Amino acid sequence: MKKVIRLVSKAISGFVLLLLCCLVILVLSSKASGGEPTILGCQVKVVLSGSMEPTFQTGSIIAIKLADSGATYTKGDVITFRDEEKLITHRIIEVKKVNGQVLYKTKGDNNNAPDTNPVVAQNVVGKYTSFTVPYAGYLVNYATSKAGSALLLIIPGLLLVLSAARSLIGTMKEIETKNA
């Protein structure tokens, strides 16, 4: 029974360490690049509102495939676009061509009415890739804050110090046992 508990404990510790390392990499890469980290042409975005529920919940993280200059989207695609200074992720409900320019009419799945302004193709940041991690966005938002960033740098340092102290104490006990 002790072996099973030890194995489960090590698995949980490994998972937490892996999660912590991923968060550190995410935070450091976003700080270093001065914006959003991009991995294989995709970016991770945090869902801040419930306008797209039940497709994805508030606080989830989603992955979007960044838009190419010639990318076109169709009715039913979920896109992330710029509306003034904020990013919005909604579903395309209609595609129009006006004066040679493509316009997308969008609507949040949980909204009663379509968005008031059509989206110009140049404002599309990317398309939702169907990858969602529910509620992880709360953790990412905290990790990218000043307090969260500091905590992500302090915790690994403390874990390294504790690990070194544990190894040192174990070695000292081993030496005492051999000398006795």
The residues spanned by each domain of the chain are 1-35+136-166
**pLDDT for residue 39:** 67
If one compares 44 and 120, the residue with the highest pLDDT of the two is: 120
pLDDT at 79: 92
Mention every residue, 6+ apart, whose C-beta is less than 8 A from residue 31.
Answer: 149
Q: For residue 166, what are its two tokens?
A: 């544990």
pLDDT of residue 90: 94
Which of 1-15, 74-88, 111-125 is the least confident region? Answer: 1-15
Note the pLDDT of residue 163.
Answer: 81
The rounded distance, in Å, linking the Cα atoms of 143 and 146 is 8
On whether the CB atoms of residues 87 and 125 are closer than 8 A, the answer is: yes
Q: What is the pLDDT of residue 23?
A: 67
Check pLDDT > 90 for residue 69. Answer: no
Mean pLDDT of the 98-110 span = 90
Q: What is the predicted pLDDT for the residue at 28?
A: 67
CB-based contact 114:92 (threshold 8 Å):
no
Q: Which of 9, 33, 49, 130 is catalytic?
A: 49
State pLDDT tens for residues 18-48.
Answer: 777 776 666 666 666 556 666 677 777 888 8
At residue 105, the pLDDT reads: 94
49 is catalytic: yes
What pLDDT, on a 0 to 100 scale, did the predictor assign at position 92? 92
Is the pTM here over 0.75, yes or no?
no
